[in-house]
């Protein structure tokens, strides 16, 4: 039996419901800077070729399950409409059960900027209300620097953020120094991090 093709639709960016509490605002700023470098036709092509994965939830709302950083960057650039790919229709599910099902599928990450799990009611209703987690920014920067590999594990970079959260002081993170990056790289390649998705092993001597 042939599998149903994913449903592709357009939606207002401001009406999309996030499925996480935080983002790394430095990551958002990077994506915003990259967007600003694009010419008009390049921006149109980028939007045509990018689909936000989502779940259709109660009251017909679209809950995006990835690409929150890009979504917030686009909002700050005053982009109004984006394309979505609907992974699953849960619009018929009772609201009380919806988040439990989302959690089962690893489509929600209700952890705050301190890495503490919160109730589903703490997940903001709008992308523009996402909180900043500087450790998520550190994790993203370190992945781009080769500290660990990109992995398909849902919310994998948040796992790395939590790893650094217990090992690097918040005051050091706010300084944004090269020393912090060096410390994070050593930690990422250490045996202590070997359980994390995308771990690349120790640095060759």
pLDDT in tens, 7-25: 789 999 999 999 999 999 9
- The Cα-based distances of 61 to 18, 89, 167 in angstroms read 11, 10, 39
Residue 3 has a pLDDT of: 52
Q: With contact defined as beta carbons under 8 Å apart, do 90 and 55 qualify? A: yes
pTM: 0.92
**More confident position, 2 or 79:** 79
Q: Which tens digits make up the pLDDT trace of 84-139? A: 999 999 999 998 899 999 999 999 999 999 999 999 999 999 999 999 999 999 99
Residue 2 has a pLDDT of: 47
Going from the N-terminus, what domains does the chain have, and what CATH number goes with each? Answer: 9-131 (3.90.1530.10), 134-193 (1.10.8.10)
């Amino acid at each position: 039996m042939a599998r149903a093709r994913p449903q592709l639709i357009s939606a207002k960016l401001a009406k999309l419901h996030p499925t996480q509490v935080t983002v790394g605002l430095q990551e958002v700023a990077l994506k915003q800077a990259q967007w600003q470098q694009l010419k008009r036709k390049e921006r149109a092509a980028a939007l045509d070729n990018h689909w936000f994965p989502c779940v259709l939830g109660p009251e017909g709302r679209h809950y995006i399950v990835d690409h929150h950083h890009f979504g917030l960057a686009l909002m700050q650039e005053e982009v109004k409409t984006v394309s979505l790919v609907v992974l699953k229709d849960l619009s018929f599910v009772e609201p009380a059960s919806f988040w439990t099902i989302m959690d089962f599928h690893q489509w929600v990450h209700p952890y705050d900027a301190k890495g503490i799990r919160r109730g589903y009611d703490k997940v903001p209703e709008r992308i523009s209300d996402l909180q900043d987690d500087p450790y998520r920014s550190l994790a993203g920067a370190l992945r781009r620097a080769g500290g660990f590999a990109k992995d398909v594990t849902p919310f994998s970079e948040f796992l790395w953020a939590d790893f650094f959260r217990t090992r690097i002081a918040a005051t050091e993170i706010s300084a944004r120094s090269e020393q912090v990056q060096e410390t994070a790289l050593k930690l990422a390649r250490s045996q202590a991090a070997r359980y994390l998705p995308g771990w690349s092993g120790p640095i060759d001597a």
